[in-house]
Structure 1
């Protein structure tokens, strides 16, 4: 089972929506976190170490991870999804399903 980690800024809308897509998934386990001090769940090194694949919503999240954490050897994917969606927004779900098709 692969551990997938989804990261956005505040862990309120985008990354929890992506995490929810993998609830009860037979092959993957997903978690989510945010990079902001105000994040619902704030990213930490332990979460990064446990992840097999890290998905970030924007390039700025990738840069923050590189500055703050050791991501050596980690597969990191930038999804390029801007902060324009609410939690579980049908349009966001469609975008995520399209991008993450090979994992779903």
Structure 2
């Protein structure tokens, strides 16, 4: 089973939506976190080590992840290029996630 981590800035809209969308899959364990210090669930070294694959919503998230957790980062990092333009569980966001994520989980 793969451990999949979704990362955005605040862990309030995009990454929690992704976590919920993919939580029902039986072949993966999912989690989510935010890169900002005041995120709902801040990104930690423990989460980075736990993850087999990390999906970031924007290139800036990948940069922060790579700078802050360089020593811990062993997972593949995939940037989904999803801007912070969506509400939690926004149908358009769900569609984007369903289009962009599954091909990386094979």
TM tier, smaller: over 0.9
**RMSD between aligned residues:** 1.3
Aligned equivalent of 2:46: 46
Using the TM superposition, give the Cα deviation of residue 72 of structure 1 relative to its aligned residue in structure 2, in angstroms.
4.1
Aligned equivalent of 2:74: 73
Counterparts of 1:29 and 1:72, CA distance in 2: 18
Conserved in 1, the CA contact under 8 Å of 2:5 and 2:32? Answer: yes
Aligned equivalent of 1:10: 10
**TM-score, length basis structure 2:** 0.92
Gaps of 5+ in 1: none
Counterparts of 2:73 and 2:84, CA distance in 1: 27
Using the TM superposition, give the Cα deviation of residue 73 of structure 1 relative to its aligned residue in structure 2, in angstroms.
3.1
Aligned equivalent of 1:32: 32
- Do residues 86 (structure 1) and 87 (structure 2) align? yes
Conserved in 1, the CA contact under 8 Å of 2:48 and 2:73? Answer: no
Which runs of at least 4 in structure 1 moved beyond 2 Å after TM superposition?
Answer: 70-73, 101-104
Using the TM superposition, give the Cα deviation of residue 24 of structure 1 relative to its aligned residue in structure 2, in angstroms.
2.7
